[in-house]
Amino acid sequence: AAAARLRALLLIMLAFLCFACLDTTAKYLGQWLPAMQIVWVRFLTHFILTLVIFRPWRDMALCLPRNKKLQVARACCLVGSTLFNFLAV
């Protein structure tokens, strides 16, 4: 139980570090690039990492959403919140 709690704390700290690095990078790049371009690169990078890590071609059923409308709405909300966050930073 103690090892699981320690692992959970380390994962939370890693997540906070990733968010801090993302915001710092967006603020730095925002001096020269438009926010939409930074958002595009962020999601392109995540797409490539997802392909490399999860290799969805092994089981394509993992890539098919159950409710496509909700998935599109979720994606639009994520892009919007990221764009507005980068504009604010």
- pLDDT by residue (tens digit) across 4-51? 999 999 999 999 999 999 899 999 999 999 999 999 999 999 899 988
pTM of the full structure: 0.76
Token couple for 23: 């915001």
pLDDT for position 5? 95
Count of domains in the chain? 1
Q: Which domain holds residue 61?
A: 1-85
| Residue 16, SS3 per DSSP | helix
Q: How large is the average pLDDT for residues 43-64?
A: 86
Q: Is the pLDDT of residue 62 over 80?
A: no
What pLDDT does residue 27 have?
Answer: 92
Rounded to 10°, the helix 2-29/68-88 angle is 60
